[in-house]
Amino acid sequence: MTRPDAVRCEFRIDAAGLPGRSPAILKREQNSLAGMIGSLSAGATKGEEQAGDVTVDALLESLATVDTVRVFAAAFLAGRCKASTAATDQQLTRRLADHIARPVAADTRIEAAFSLVLRGAVNQGRDALRDALTSSEPLGDQYKAAFFLAQLGDPSGYAALIRTAGGDIAHYRLMALRHAIAFSPWNGKQIGELTIDVASLLSHALSDPDPLVRQEMPFYLEELGVANLRQLLEPVARGDDSEPVRTAARIVLDRMH
């Protein structure tokens, strides 16, 4: 069998047959690929390495480290790596399965679970995502499990995302809002007592008390393609009390000309 240190990854970002893998989500992943690759090496700058330079062995080694940045990047990349030999491909899938059974950080466990889905171990990955969604762990990134389940065609985790988006910690509010895009195919669908409405969720966040949250909303609303984008952003560009927020709104407005 060819050694994993000699087997290089061909990175593929595609829908993988999943109904909720929208073009917007695929574009995000493509844009983040170079940075994830760079994170595998200590001191590497974004985009420094090329996709063809990553070996399966590098992913296996990174999954075994305690470096949270490297292990998260490896968990992401493992789902998008197609190895040139079937045996090595299977080895990577087995290592991911072992990884989600270990006491690792929630974000890495969730990322590894979805990578299992992308590698064809759909039931195993889905079960792990459902466990993460219902976890009682504080700040357990339940919104991220909801985001991935939505890509599998299951929007039932919307309430978890809404809870985080309405929480007290600005960073987590922003993280949840960043991932709301996955629920856009189900706008208008009732989930318990909630009705999915991604545009309203993001529009409401234009008034978030933290400017770091507000600053990103113009871009997510643009990505979503809301019909009344100019109407939403012109007051922000004129009147928000944060210059970075006003600038973000103006950038998006300028692109509409």
Question: Which are the contacts of 58, defined by CB distance < 8 A and separation ≥ 6?
Answer: 40, 74
* Top CATH class, 4-154: mainly alpha
Residue 38 reports pLDDT greater than 70: yes
pTM: 0.92
Question: Looking at residue 42, what is its pLDDT?
Answer: 55
Helices (H), the chain: 23-39, 56-63, 68-80, 86-100, 106-118, 122-133, 142-151, 158-165, 170-178, 198-204, 211-214, 217-224, 229-239, 243-255
- Spatial distance between the Cα atoms of 65 and 123, rounded to a whole number of angstroms: 26
pLDDT band, very low/low/confident/very high, at 43 (cuts 50, 70, 90): very low
Domain residue ranges in the chain: 4-154
In the chain, the percentage of residues whose pLDDT exceeds 90 is 82
Q: Enter the tokens of residue 115.
A: 């990578």
Confidence of residue 99 (pLDDT cuts 50, 70, 90): confident
How many other CB atoms are found less than 10 A from the CB of residue 126?
A: 18
Q: Which region, left, alpha or beta, applies to residue 124 given φ > 0 means left and ψ of -120 to 50 means alpha?
A: alpha
pLDDT band at 47 (very low <50, low <70, confident <90, very high): very low
Residue pair 35/109 in contact by the 8 Å Cβ criterion? no
